[in-house]
C-alpha cells in the first residue's frame, strides 16, 4: 500500500494499462456527483491519461442484512444519479444483481478495459474486504479515496480515546477543510461509451418490482418516511437549516419533536457529503450555539467513529472496549438480570417497558431511531440479555437490519458507547458495574414520552 496524498492510497503495485479505454470509478459508498473526493480524483486521473471516465455502481443481493428497505433507499437514488452523470458527460453504469443466476464479477470485467480503478475508502462493513479483493485481483492500479469526513482520516494516525482527545485536533485542522469544494469536469465525454457490463435502468415506478425479483429478505418493508437520493437529502437539509437548526440545542433531545436533522441515512449512503451539510449549517441564520452543537455531532462525534473503525480491527466486538469497561463486565457477569428477553420478543417490541417498545417500533417501521431513545434502547438491551455478548449481537443485528443508517462506523461506535466506549467509568451498579446506566423512568421524564409513545403507535 502506498500513500499518494492525505486522502488517497494505492492499494497494490500494478502499472497503468496503456491499452485501456477508460478510467473506472467503483462508487461503493459516496453515492453522489458532487463533494466527492473519489470522483474528483477519478476525473483528474482520466484527464491526465486522456481517457474518458466510467462510473460503476452495483447492488448485490447477498450483503449482510440485504432487505427491501435498504435496497429501496439505494435504488431511489439511481435515476437521479444517471441524469446527473449524463449532465456531467460521464458514463454511469448501475447493475442490480438480483440472484444466483445474475452475472458476477462485474467490477473485474469492467477492469479489463480500464487504465486504473478508483474506489471508495470506507473503514467498516463489507467495503474493506471488497477493496482488499479487488486490489489482489486487479492487474492495474487500485486507488482508495477517503471522502468520508470533512477531515481526512489519515490526519489521525492512531485510535483516539474519546471525543475530548480528538476535539482539539479537529478544531485545529478544521479551518483548512471547512471550505467550498472544488469540483472537477471531465475533458472527454463518455455518456455513450460501450462497456462490458449489464446496465440496469431504474425508474421510480419500477423499484418495487425490481426489488421483488431480488433474492433478499422481503420482511423489512421500504420506509414510507425516508426516501433515498441526494434530492430528498437536500430537501431535508433545507428544512433542517431553515426551521429546525435554530432550536437544535434543546430540541435534539426531544424525541417527541422533529428537532434533529434526520440526515444520518443520507450521510451513510453518501447521498449527502458532511462537507455540504456543514457548509449549509455554517452559513445558516441560526444562533452560533445551535450551529456549534450540531457541528459537534456531525464532525467530532462522527469522525471519532470513523477513526475508531479505521484503527481498531475489533470494532465489531466487545474486545474493542477500554480496559476499565472490560474489567467492569468481568466483575458483573454473574449478576442476576431482572428481565431476560429473547431476540424475538425484543424485535417485536414485546417488553414490559412502553418507552423501549416505542423506540423499537420507531426503528422497525420508519428505518431510523431518534438519538435520545437510541441510547436508552441500547442500555436496556444490556440489562435484559443473559450475557454482554448476546446483548451486543442483538443490538448490532437489530440496528443493522432495520436502520437505514446502520452498518456504519456510527452504528458500531454508538452501540459500543452503551458498553463504555468513548465514555468514562460511573458509579457501581448491578449488571452495568461502572458502565453508565440509564433507565426509562428518568430518561422518559426529560421529554414528553407519552406523546412519543402515542406517535409511534400511529406509525
Interacting residues with ligand FAD (CB under 6 A): 252, 260-264, 267-268, 297-298, 301-302, 305, 371, 374-375, 378, 399, 403, 405-406, 408, 410-411, 413-415, 417-418
Q: How far is the CB of 36 from ligand FAD (least distance, A)?
A: 17
Nearest by Cα to 371 from 278, 457, 452: 452
What is the H or E stretch that residue 280 is in?
A: helix 274-282
Query: Is the CB of 241 or the CB of 403 nearer to ligand FAD?
Result: 403
Q: How far is the CB of 214 from ligand FAD (least distance, A)?
A: 23
**Residue 174 burial (CB count, 10 A):** 16
Dihedral angle sign, alpha carbons of residues 302, 304, 310, 314: negative
Q: How far is the CB of 384 from ligand FAD (least distance, A)?
A: 14
Give the residue closest to ligand FAD by C-beta: 414
| Cell digits of residue 454 | 402515542
**Residue 440 burial (CB count, 10 A):** 22
Q: How far is the CB of 59 from ligand FAD (least distance, A)?
A: 20
Neighbour-count burial for 130-160, b at 16+ CB within 10 Å, e otherwise: bbeebbeebebbbbbbbbbbbbbbebbeebb
User: Could you give the CA distance from residue 37 to residue 59 in angstroms, rounded to a whole number?
Assistant: 21
Query: Is the CB of 28 or the CB of 366 nearer to ligand FAD?
Result: 366
Q: What is the DSSP letter of 373?
A: H
* 8-10 vs 142-145, strand pairing mode: antiparallel
Q: How far is the CB of 447 from ligand FAD (least distance, A)?
A: 14
Query: Is the CB of 191 or the CB of 280 nearer to ligand FAD?
Result: 280
Contact predicate 459/365, CB 8 Å: yes
User: Could you give the CA distance from residue 32 to residue 273 in angstroms, rounded to a whole number?
Assistant: 8
Query: Is the CB of 189 or the CB of 253 nearer to ligand FAD?
Result: 253
Q: How far is the CB of 291 from ligand FAD (least distance, A)?
A: 12
Query: Is the CB of 45 or the CB of 252 nearer to ligand FAD?
Result: 252
Q: How far is the CB of 209 from ligand FAD (least distance, A)?
A: 29
Query: Is the CB of 195 or the CB of 403 nearer to ligand FAD?
Result: 403
Q: How far is the CB of 381 from ligand FAD (least distance, A)?
A: 9
Q: φ, ψ for residue 67 (rounded to 5)?
A: -150, 175
Q: How far is the CB of 304 from ligand FAD (least distance, A)?
A: 7
Contact predicate 10/141, CB 8 Å: yes
Rg (CA), the chain: 22
User: Could you give the CA distance from residue 355 to residue 365 in angstroms, rounded to a whole number?
Assistant: 15
Question: Alpha helix (H) ranges present in 367-387?
Answer: 371-383
Q: Give the 3-state DSSP-derived string for 4-25, with helices as H, strands as E and coil as C.
A: EECCEEECCCCCCCCCCCEEEE
Q: How far is the CB of 123 from ligand FAD (least distance, A)?
A: 14
Query: Is the CB of 17 or the CB of 443 nearer to ligand FAD?
Result: 443
Q: How far is the CB of 134 from ligand FAD (least distance, A)?
A: 26
The DSSP string of 90-124 is: -EEEEEE--STTS---HHHHHHTTEEEEEEE---S
* 91-96 vs 142-145, strand pairing mode: unpaired
| Cell digits of residue 375 | 441510547
Query: Is the CB of 99 or the CB of 283 nearer to ligand FAD?
Result: 283
Query: Is the CB of 155 or the CB of 422 nearer to ligand FAD?
Result: 422
Query: Is the CB of 51 or the CB of 67 nearer to ligand FAD?
Result: 67
Contact predicate 284/241, CB 8 Å: yes
Q: How far is the CB of 455 from ligand FAD (least distance, A)?
A: 16
Query: Is the CB of 41 or the CB of 417 nearer to ligand FAD?
Result: 417
Query: Is the CB of 82 or the CB of 301 nearer to ligand FAD?
Result: 301
User: Could you give the CA distance from residue 325 to residue 309 in angstroms, rounded to a whole number?
Assistant: 18
Amino acid at each position: 500500500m502506498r500513500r499518494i496524498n492525505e486522502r488517497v492510497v494505492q492499494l497494490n503495485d500494478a502499472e497503468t494499462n496503456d491499452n485501456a479505454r477508460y478510467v473506472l470509478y467503483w462508487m461503493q459508498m459516496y453515492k453522489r456527483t458532487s463533494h466527492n473526493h473519489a470522483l474528483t480524483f477519478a476525473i483528474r486521473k482520466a484527464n491526465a491519461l486522456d481517457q474518458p471516465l466510467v462510473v460503476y455502481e452495483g447492488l448485490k443481493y447477498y450483503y449482510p442484512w440485504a432487505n427491501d428497505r435498504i435496497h429501496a433507499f439505494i435504488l431511489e437514488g439511481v435515476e437521479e444519479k444517471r441524469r446527473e452523470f449524463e449532465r456531467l458527460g460521464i458514463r454511469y453504469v448501475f447493475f442490480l444483481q438480483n440472484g444466483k443466476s445474475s452475472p458476477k464479477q462485474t467490477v473485474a470485467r469492467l477492469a479489463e478495459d480500464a487504465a486504473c480503478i478508483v474506489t471508495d475508502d470506507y473503514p467498516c462493513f463489507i467495503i474493506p474486504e471488497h477493496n482488499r479483493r479487488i486490489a489482489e485481483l486487479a492487474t492495474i492500479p487500485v486507488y482508495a479515496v477517503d471522502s468520508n469526513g470533512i477531515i481526512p482520516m489519515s490526519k489521525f494516525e492512531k485510535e483516539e480515546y474519546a471525543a475530548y482527545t480528538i476535539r482539539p485536533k479537529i478544531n485545529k485542522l478544521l479551518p483548512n477543510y471547512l471550505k467550498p469544494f472544488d469540483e472537477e469536469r471531465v475533458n472527454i465525454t463518455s455518456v455513450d461509451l460501450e462497456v462490458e457490463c449489464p446496465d440496469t435502468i431504474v425508474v421510480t415506478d419500477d423499484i418495487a418490482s425490481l426489488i421483488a425479483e431480488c433474492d433478499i429478505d422481503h420482511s423489512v418493508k421500504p420506509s414510507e418516511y425516508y426516501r433515498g437520493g441526494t434530492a430528498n437529502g437536500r430537501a431535508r437539509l433545507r428544512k433542517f437549516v431553515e426551521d429546525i437548526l435554530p432550536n437544535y440545542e434543546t430540541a435534539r433531545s426531544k424525541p417527541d419533536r422533529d428537532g434533529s436533522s434526520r440526515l444520518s441515512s443520507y450521510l451513510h449512503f453518501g447521498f449527502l457529503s458532511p462537507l455540504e451539510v456543514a457548509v449549509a449549517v455554517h452559513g445558516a441564520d441560526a444562533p452560533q450555539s445551535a450551529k456549534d452543537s450540531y457541528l459537534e455531532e456531525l464532525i467530532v462525534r462522527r469522525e471519532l467513529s470513523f477513526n475508531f473503525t479505521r484503527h481498531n480491527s475489533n470494532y465489531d466486538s466487545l474486545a474493542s472496549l477500554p480496559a476499565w469497561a472490560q474489567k467492569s463486565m468481568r466483575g458483573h457477569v454473574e449478576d442476576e438480570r431482572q428481565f431476560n428477553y429473547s431476540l424475538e420478543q425484543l424485535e417485536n417490541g414485546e417488553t414490559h417497558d412502553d418507552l423501549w417498545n416505542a423506540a423499537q417500533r420507531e426503528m422497525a417501521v420508519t428505518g431510523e431511531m431518534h438519538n435520545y431513545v437510541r441510547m436508552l434502547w441500547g442500555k436496556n438491551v444490556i440489562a435484559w440479555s443473559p450475557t454482554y455478548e448476546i446483548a451486543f449481537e442483538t443490538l448490532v443485528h437489530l440496528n443493522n437490519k432495520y436502520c437505514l443508517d446502520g452498518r456504519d462506523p456510527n452504528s458500531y461506535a454508538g452501540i459500543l458507547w452503551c458498553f463504555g466506549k468513548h465514555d468514562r467509568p460511573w458509579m457501581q451498579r448491578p449488571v452495568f458495574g461502572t458502565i453508565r446506566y440509564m433507565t426509562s423512568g428518568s430518561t422518559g421524564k426529560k421529554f414528553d414520552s407519552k406523546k412519543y409513545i402515542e406517535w409511534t403507535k400511529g406509525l
